Each structure stands twice: as structure tokens, then as C-alpha cells.
């Protein structure tokens, strides 16, 4: 694929970016596949929304929340809301996360990705395309191409971890020109993530939504991400709670052990209290300070230091 093809795709995306670039403030929606969604179902029906949750997604997109110009660090984070690959928690694990990231100078992108209607590998392709799209348009988006992270919650944490382990997977490519752009995130933040699809710690609903009722042992193993970690997996920040009965804390422990064995820089916060899906809610005492610890971690890695312009 030629550089001309890549530039054409960038131009298509920038058509949708124009209102945001002009205002420099309000969030806008960028289509993830402006040239056409690969494998779009012929029977695609309208997207559904209920209680700030999106489902039946057929047109993946990124909602852009630009950091304030006087605070922008050049860091960017793609947000993967959770919902068991059935629905997306677009507020508690989406727009509210973007508001927090904006407050520390990070440009945020809330990813609306395909789910059970498509199964694997559509969600993987969507998150990798999101990284490629942001990286290829970094200058226009006022972000640094080497400061692009992914944060994910629950099943969105599985998707974020997939981006950090399967970024070179052939299944993550579609033959589009942007496949030539690196899809490797520069850092990961995983909140009560689904990691393994093996029993007894699997989230059965996520496994079923991704792989169907009759997944083979090979399919389950391929998407049990504790087995896909390599030294190239990016630095990772993880949060989980002992009280989580939906996605057992062992998911995060398995991933941590794999990261440690591979020599990947990792910070893990394991809290006693807090149910699954607490997101940005403030009423869980010490657990709710994960936001401050995540900021400290990003700052310690130099991600929140504003670069001096030449």
C-alpha cells in the first residue's frame, strides 16, 4: 500500500475533524473506517442507546475530547468502555474518563467498537485501527505519536490488553492502507480487566460474545491474553478489587505475572473494596483514589510533561 493511499484515508478522516479543528474545544465524532467498515453486516440495524449505554454498534467511531490548549501535554489516550462485549458504558467508563484525562492535559478518544454482532476479530481491528488513526494524524490532533495509550474497563480492559499484546497480529489487519502505521500503544491502563478466557476465572459472557457458544480450545487460548504477553507489550498500570465477583481479581494477577516474567514495567493496585464497574464513581473510599495513582504513574513516566516547542 502506497503513501498516497494513507494520505487519502487521512484526508477522509480530516473531513470529519474539520469542525473540531475549527473550534478547538467541543468533542466531535470521527468515523473509524471512513472508507467503509470492513465486513459490515448486510442486515445492520440502527444503533441502540439505553441509560448511557450503546449497543448494536455497526459504525465504529472515536469521539474526540481535546485537552485544553494551555494544558495539553501531547499525550493521548484511547478509552475502551466495558460492557461484556454486549454494550458500552459510554458515560461512567467513557465521557467521564475523558473529562478526567482532559483535566491533566491529555487528549482523549472514546472508542465505540463492534461487539457481539461481529465477534472476534472485529473489536481487535477497531482498537488497532483507532491507534493507527490517532498516530497517523498526530500533528493535526496536537498529540505526540509516541505518547498514545489505551485505557480499558472490564471487557474494554480485555480489548485494551489485546491492543498491547496483539498489535502485530495478522487478524488485526484488513488490507487498508493504514495497516502500515504502527498499532502498538505506548502505554496501557487496565481497570478490572477481563484477561483470561479459561475457566475458572473467565468472564463467560465476554467469552461467549467474542467466540460464540462453541469456541475451540485454540480460540480460547489465543484470546487468553496472559499467554500473549511479550517484552514488546507496553508499560502497564492495573487496578482491580477483591470484591469483584463479575471478573475475578485473578485476571489481573495472571496478566501481572506474565508482564513481570517478560520484563515489562508494571504497576498494580489491588484494593479490598469496590464492586465491578465502579469506573469514575467517588463513593468507594480508598479505591476511588485509583485516579490519583494513575495520574502519578503517567507523570512518573514523563507522559504529562509538556514538551518545549522548537
State the average pLDDT over residues 275-284.
Answer: 84
**10: confidence class by pLDDT, cuts 50, 70, 90:** low
Residue 218's CB is within 10 A of a number of other CB atoms, namely 7
Q: What is the pLDDT of residue 203?
A: 97
CA distances (Å), 233 to each of 125, 188, 225, 281, in order? Answer: 17, 9, 11, 29
**1: confidence class by pLDDT, cuts 50, 70, 90:** very low
| For the chain, percent of residues with pLDDT exceeding 70 | 90
Q: Which residues contact 56 (CB under 8 A, 6 or more apart)?
A: 45, 46, 47, 48, 117
pTM: 0.91
Q: What is the pLDDT of residue 4?
A: 47
State the average pLDDT over residues 49-53.
Answer: 93
Tens-place pLDDT, residues 217-261: 999 999 999 999 999 999 999 999 999 999 999 999 999 999 999
Tens-place pLDDT, residues 175-185: 999 999 999 99
d(CA 63, CA 27): 6
Residue 268 near residue 238 (C-beta atoms within 8 A): yes
| For the chain, percent of residues with pLDDT exceeding 90 | 85
Tens-place pLDDT, residues 88-108: 999 999 999 999 999 999 999
Tens-place pLDDT, residues 37-47: 999 999 999 99
CA distances (Å), 59 to each of 26, 35, 56, 111, 166, in order? Answer: 21, 11, 9, 11, 22
Q: What is the pLDDT of residue 283?
A: 78
d(CA 41, CA 30): 20
State the average pLDDT over residues 188-202.
Answer: 98
Residue 181 near residue 135 (C-beta atoms within 8 A): yes
The answer on pLDDT for 25 being more than 80 is no
98 closest CA partner among 72, 133, 120, 66: 66
Q: What is the pLDDT of residue 281?
A: 83
Tens-place pLDDT, residues 147-177: 999 999 999 999 999 999 999 999 999 999 9
The answer on pLDDT for 12 being more than 70 is no
Q: What is the pLDDT of residue 286?
A: 85
> Could you state, in order of their start, the residue ranges of all structural domains in the chain?
3-36+46-300
State the average pLDDT over residues 186-197.
Answer: 98
Q: CATH assignment of 3-36+46-300, given 3.50.50.60, 3.30.1300.10, 3.40.605.10, 3.40.50.1820? A: 3.40.50.1820
Q: What is the pLDDT of residue 306?
A: 86
Residue 82 near residue 153 (C-beta atoms within 8 A): yes
Q: What is the pLDDT of residue 284?
A: 76
How are the residues of the chain apportioned to helix, strand and coil, as percentages rounded to the nearest 5?
40, 15, 45
Amino acid at each position: 500500500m502506497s503513501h498516497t493511499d494513507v494520505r487519502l484515508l487521512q484526508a477522509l478522516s480530516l473531513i470529519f475533524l474539520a469542525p473540531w479543528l475549527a473550534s478547538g474545544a467541543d468533542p466531535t465524532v470521527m468515523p473509524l473506517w471512513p472508507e467503509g467498515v470492513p465486513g459490515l453486516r448486510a442486515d445492520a440495524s440502527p444503533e441502540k442507546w439505553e441509560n448511557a449505554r450503546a449497543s448494536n454498534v455497526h459504525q465504529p467511531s472515536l469521539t474526540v475530547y481535546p485537552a485544553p490548549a494551555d494544558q495539553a501535554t501531547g499525550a493521548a489516550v484511547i478509552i475502551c468502555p466495558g460492557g461484556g462485549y454486549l454494550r458500552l458504558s459510554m458515560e461512567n467508563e467513557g465521557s467521564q474518563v475523558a473529562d478526567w484525562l482532559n483535566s491533566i492535559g491529555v487528549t482523549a478518544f472514546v472508542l465505540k467498537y463492534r461487539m457481539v454482532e461481529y465477534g472476534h476479530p472485529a473489536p481487535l481491528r477497531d482498537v488497532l485501527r483507532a491507534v493507527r488513526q490517532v498516530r497517523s494524524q498526530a500533528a493535526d490532533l496536537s498529540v505526540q505519536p509516541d505518547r498514545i495509550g489505551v485505557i480499558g474497563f472490564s471487557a474494554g480492559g480485555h480489548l485494551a490488553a489485546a491492543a498491547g499484546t496483539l498489535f502485530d497480529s495478522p487478524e488485526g489487519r484488513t488490507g487498508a492502507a493504514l495497516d502500515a502505521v504502527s498499532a502498538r500503544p505506548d502505554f496501557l491502563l487496565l481497570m478490572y480487566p477481563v484477561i483470561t478466557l479459561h475457566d475458572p476465572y473467565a468472564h463467560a459472557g465476554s467469552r461467549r460474545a467474542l467466540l460464540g457458544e462453541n469456541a475451540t480450545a485454540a480460540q480460547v487460548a489465543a484470546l487468553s491474553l496472559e499467554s500473549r504477553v511479550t517484552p514488546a507489550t507496553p508499560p502497564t498500570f492495573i487496578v482491580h478489587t477483591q470484591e469483584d465477583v463479575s471478573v475475578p481479581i485473578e485476571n489481573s494477577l495472571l496478566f501481572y505475572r506474565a508482564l513481570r516474567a517478560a520484563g515489562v514495567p508494571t504497576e498494580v493496585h489491588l484494593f479490598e473494596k469496590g464492586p465491578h464497574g465502579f469506573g469514575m464513581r467517588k463513593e468507594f473510599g480508598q479505591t476511588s483514589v485509583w485516579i490519583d495513582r494513575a495520574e502519578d504513574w503517567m507523570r512518573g513516566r514523563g507522559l504529562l510533561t509538556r514538551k518545549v516547542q522548537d
